[in-house]
Amino acid sequence: MGQNLDEQFYRILQKCATHPGFANASLEEGSIKHLIVEEIDKKENSKEIYEGIWNKYLKPIFDIIKTDKDSKKALKDYKVMVRELSNKYLKGDK
């Protein structure tokens, strides 16, 4: 990965700044995301986990946003990502 995840998250949020629904979801789920990041950071393989999150979730969302900043699919996919990561890292689902 050429960029660190903070830069990638920032770019995604920057691209979506004009979409209020996405921004609201980001803010509402921000505390959950922070807890997820804390749990991932505790893992020895956190770098690989973050790369997997980028490849599975964030890169596809970013690609959608590049062509359609108002994409409802991007917002839906983002919410799915937060829910799945929350289930995996906060609730212990496998």
> Does residue 25 belong to any structural domain of this protein?
yes
Q: Does the pTM exceed 0.75?
A: no
> Does residue 49 belong to any structural domain of this protein?
yes
> Does residue 57 belong to any structural domain of this protein?
yes
Residues 53-68: tens digit of each pLDDT: 999 998 999 899 889 8
Residues 15-74: tens digit of each pLDDT: 555 555 665 565 555 666 777 888 888 999 999 999 999 999 989 998 998 898 778 898
Domain that holds residue 24: 5-89
> Does residue 94 belong to any structural domain of this protein?
no
> Does residue 24 belong to any structural domain of this protein?
yes
Count of domains forming the chain: 1
> Does residue 70 belong to any structural domain of this protein?
yes
d(CA 19, CA 54): 21
